[in-house]
Structure 1
Amino acid sequence: MKFYYTVDGKRSGEFVADVRSPKETLARLLNLMRTSERSTLLLAPIPADKDFLTYLHKEGGSPVYLQCAGTAEAMTIEWHKVDDDGQDRHYIVGRGGDHSGEPSVDIPFFDGNRTATVYPDEVFVADEATDIFFHYYETGRIPHGYELRWYDLTWPKPQP
């Protein structure tokens, strides 16, 4: 399977591991994440019959992806996928923990101009994120043992 990656929502490339192994390449990309430099990474599949540039620029890319935001020392990981019922949904990846109350950990990104607020079990460092991204790269899924929290991406409708 082929993949592409996007850094900070604007720089994309076909994911090619030629000098390093795929896992080492992912580790390098994730370890380069810094608040004021690279602060988001998206990894998405490319259909086997598609060319990367055509797929990304003419078809808009994949509706299915794994992404993270933050820094190598503290990031959130999100999985956008199509569920078994055919619905397109967005999830925050976590280890499982107490989710009573509102999320309380702020993860700044885009030079501190944006913040993701998550629960403590949903904060990852680059090493663990590398294992999750590599598993996704190999299987199209996240590893067993992690929990998903649905995150509603729909905007509230304006009140009349």
Structure 2
Amino acid sequence: MTFYYTVDARRSGEFVVDVRPPRATLGRLLSLMMPGERSTFLLAPIPSGYDFLTYLHKQGGSPVYLQCAGTSDAMTIEWHKIDDDGQDRHYIVGHGGDHAGDPSVGIPFFDGTCSATVYPDEVFALDEATDIFFRYYETGEIPSGYELRWYDLTWPKPQP
């Protein structure tokens, strides 16, 4: 399977493994997430029969992807996928923990102009994030043992 990646929601490229093996390449890309530098990373499959440029420009990109935001020291990971029931859903990846009350950990990105708020068990550092992204690259899935918290991406409808 072929993948593309997008950095900071504006620069995309085909994920090409050349000098480093795939896990090391993913680790390198994730290690570049620093304040004032890169702050988001998305990895998505390209369906067979498409080349990167045609797919991205004509199809608009994949509805299925794994993404993260923050820094290499503290990031949130989100998985957008099609569930077994055919529904398009967005999840926040976590270790599983107490989710009583509202999420309390802010993960700033885009130079602090945006922030994701998650539970403490949903914060990842570089090495573990690299493992998760590598598994996704290999299988299209995240490793077993993680919990997914559904995150509703629909905007509130305006009141009449």
- Matching residue of 2:20: 20
Counterpart for residue 129 of structure 1: 129
Measured after TM superposition, the shift of residue 126 of structure 1 is 0.8
Partner of 2:112: helix, strand, or coil? coil
Q: Which one-letter code corresponds to 2:123 in the other structure?
A: V
Cα shift readout 1:23-80 (whole Å, capped 9, x = no counterpart)? 0000000111012110000000001110100000111010000000000000000000
Indicate the residue corresponding to 1:113 in structure 2: 113
Give the whole-Å Cα distance in 1 for the aligned partners of 2:72 and 2:16. 21
1:53 aligns with 2:53: yes
RMSD, aligned α-carbons: 0.4
Q: What CA distance in whole angstroms lies between the structure 1 residues aligned with 2:36 and 2:83?
A: 34
User: Separation in 1 of the partners of 2:92 and 2:80?
Assistant: 9
After TM superposition, the score normalised by the length of structure 2 is 0.99
Residue 144 of structure 1 aligns with which residue?
144
SS of aligned partner of 1:48:
coil
Of all paired residues, the percent bearing the same amino acid is 80
- Distance, in Å, in 2 between the alignment partners of 1:33 and 1:57 is 26
Distance 1:70 1:152 in 2: 20
Superposed CA deviations along residues 119-138 of structure 1, whole A, max 9, x for unmatched, are 00000001100000000000
Structure 1 alignment gaps of length 5 or more: none
Any idea what SS the aligned residue of 1:44 has?
Answer: strand
* Aligned equivalent of 2:84: 84
Question: Given residue 105 of structure 1, which amino acid in structure 2 is its aligned partner?
Answer: V
Count of aligned positions: 160
Displaced runs of 4+ in structure 1, greater than 6 A? none
Structure 1 residue 7 corresponds to structure 2 residue 7:
yes
Aligned to 2:43: 43
Q: Distance in 1 between matches of 2:48 and 2:10?
A: 23
Partner-residue secondary structure (3-state), 2:136: helix
Q: Deviations over 1:67-126 (max 9, x none)?
A: 000000000000000000100000000000000000000000000000000000000001
Q: How does 1:93-108 map to 2 (within 5 A)?
A: 93-108=93-108
Greater CA drift, 29-38 or 6-15: 29-38
Distance (Å, rounded) in 2 between the aligned partners of 1:82 and 1:9: 21
User: SS of 1:85's equivalent?
Assistant: coil
